[in-house]
A = this chain, B = another copy of it.
Amino acid sequence: MASDPDCPFCRKLADPAGWAAEDVVWEFPHSVAVLGPWQFYTGYCVLVCREHATELHHLDGSTRVAYLKEMATLAEAIGGCFRPHKLNYELLGNQVPHLHWHLFPRSIDDPDRLRPVWFALEKADADPAEKTRLETARAHRTMIAALLRERLRADKAPGEPATP
């Protein structure tokens, strides 16, 4: 499986302590679901492909189908757990060109809900109070991750839960 020693995601994937254990939500066969930092968007996850590829069409056909299916499975679990007004699915890779989905649940009471999250996140990068606000979940992070794991287990998601 392709890997790139200079890629931060490849290094995390290769390192058993790459992500804090409590942040790893699910070990899918083709990807790892990690609870993201911005839990103002309750349930926000990043789904990192196990293979180093910069574009979906660089994956072989069956891996691509499986990775997209894992994305949809995780999205469904986030939707089922937290009932967001809308989910935002984004695969950008402008800064780290290793396939990873951002799954951002959007809330009806977010005054900025009509815009992509990036405006709020850029503001947070320059404003510590805003950063704290957007990093702070309505529930404990460990509870959010546990709810997602429980849901994925009930949905018989392929792979297995992380065991923090």
Contacts and interface: CB of A to CB of B under 8 A. Distances in A.
Contacts of A57: 72, 75-76, 79
Interface of A: 54-57, 64-65, 68-69, 72, 75-76, 79, 86-95, 97, 106, 113-116, 118-119, 122
Given A56-B75, A72-B56, A75-B55, A88 B91 contact: yes
Contacts of A75: 55-57
Copies in the complex: 2
A interface, over-half SS: mixed
Given A86-B97, A92-B88, A106-B94, A64 B55 contact: no
A83 to B, nearest CB: 11
